[in-house]
Amino acid sequence: MSWIRENTLSWFQLMCVQVIKTGHIPRHIAFIMDGNRRYARKNKVLKEEGHAKGFDKLAETLQWCLDLGIPEVTVYAFSIENFKRTKDEVDALMELARKKFQRILDEKEKLMEHGVRIRVIGNTTLLPQDVQELIAKAMLITRGNSTTFLNVAFAYTARDELVNAVRSISAGVREGRLSATDVTESLIDRSLYTGEYSDPDLVIRTSGEVRFSDFLLWQLSYSCVYFTDVLWPEFSIWHLLAAIFYYQRSYVDVQGIKKLHKCVAERESERVSSFVTWLNNTREDELINLGGVC
């Protein structure tokens, strides 16, 4: 299945989508897609089939988000912790990634038509070389798009992301690009993989587990959190609408808390701006080295 599906909603579901759109719609939703293996056990199919069904559900969910006018989605597709699973399962997930990132290259026109930009966040050096190259190509060919953003956390944990940011900053200080006094909350924020992205307004975790499992710990500080018991492959438009309805009911409180904690933006020094630009260019060069000029 491709990343963007044709519309599968009935007229009644589309009408409910229109009703919910009369309220506040989150601009960025993050998903912890959990429960693929329990779904496989429940339906007496292989784990790999559970993950494949999980991908199909991701494609369907992206279409719903497009229908709802949600411009940014981040999904937790593979945690660094997931490398500890059996070799067979890790290999199957890598094979699924190979197939799906290749699909982005084969279906470039469709993504261009919807203006979808794919960004992968994570320590991708931990992945097989061919998967790294496919990911780089997928990011490069869609980098001119700016209508909808799909951020895929792959070989990701939040702690690893923070370590990576701190290492980049300390190298910046060592090489004289930064001074120790430049290290602020804002500099750390801008040095994360998500430095240029918005923070999620709403995070949804499926399968009844009520934890973040090292996902976007920095970025979720003021997000609305919604846990649901449904297993990810069984997630439906009704679950998504229920989560958005919950967000709408919490909207005033969450906005109030956000305002209270919003740090007063300090004017960024020339040195910090140059460092952030240098860091982004370095990351872009790494992508081009892997994916070639697209």
The answer to whether the CB of 61 falls within 8 A of the CB of 32 is: no
96 binds ligand FPP (CB under 6 A): yes
34 binds Mg ion (CB under 5 A): yes
Q: What residue is closest to Mg ion based on CB?
A: 34
Report the run of H or E that residue 274 belongs to, with start and end. Answer: helix 270-291
C-beta neighbour count of 75 within 10 angstroms: 21
End-to-end CA distance of the chain, in Å?
A: 24
List residues bridging with 126 in a β-sheet: none
Taking the least distance from each CB to ligand FPP, the nearer of 138 and 287 is: 138
* Part in contact with Mg ion (CB under 5 A); list of ranges 14-22, 31-39, 89-97, 255-263: 31-39
- Which residue among 58, 80, 141, 202 contacts ligand FPP (CB under 6 A)? 58
117 binds ligand FPP (CB under 6 A): no
Distance in angstroms (rounded) separating the CA atoms of residues 53 and 25: 27
Q: Helix, strand, coil shares of the chain as percentages rounded to 5?
A: 55, 10, 30
Residues 170-189 that bind ligand FPP (CB under 6 A): none
35 binds ligand FPP (CB under 6 A): yes
60 binds Mg ion (CB under 5 A): no
Provide the residue type at 8 as one letter: T
202 binds ligand FPP (CB under 6 A): no
The answer to whether the CB of 278 falls within 8 A of the CB of 127 is: no
Phi, psi of 43 (to 5 degrees): -100, 10
Distance in angstroms (rounded) separating the CA atoms of residues 200 and 121: 14
Provide the residue type at 280 as one letter: N
* Part in contact with ligand FPP (CB under 6 A); list of ranges 49-57, 242-250, 274-282, 283-291: 49-57
Which of ligand FPP, Mg ion, none lies near 38, with the C-beta cut-off 5 to 8 A by kind?
ligand FPP
Show the tokens assigned to 57. 């559900």
37 binds ligand FPP (CB under 6 A): yes
Taking the least distance from each CB to ligand FPP, the nearer of 190 and 205 is: 205
Query: In the complex, what is the shortest distance from the CB of residue 52 to Mg ion, in angstroms, rounded to a whole number?
Result: 16
What DSSP string runs through 81-112?
GGGGS-HHHHHHHHHHHHHHHHHHHHTHHHHH
The answer to whether the CB of 71 falls within 8 A of the CB of 26 is: no
The answer to whether the CB of 140 falls within 8 A of the CB of 291 is: yes
* Part in contact with ligand FPP (CB under 6 A); list of ranges 17-25, 28-36, 127-135, 195-203: 28-36
Which of ligand FPP, Mg ion, none lies near 177, with the C-beta cut-off 5 to 8 A by kind?
none
Which of ligand FPP, Mg ion, none lies near 233, with the C-beta cut-off 5 to 8 A by kind?
none
Which of ligand FPP, Mg ion, none lies near 82, with the C-beta cut-off 5 to 8 A by kind?
ligand FPP
Taking the least distance from each CB to ligand FPP, the nearer of 74 and 207 is: 207
34 binds ligand FPP (CB under 6 A): yes
Distance in angstroms (rounded) separating the CA atoms of residues 114 and 142: 11
Taking the least distance from each CB to ligand FPP, the nearer of 80 and 140 is: 80
Residues 62-81 that bind ligand FPP (CB under 6 A): 77
150 binds ligand FPP (CB under 6 A): no
Q: Summarize as ranges the residues that interact with Mg ion (CB under 5 A).
A: 34
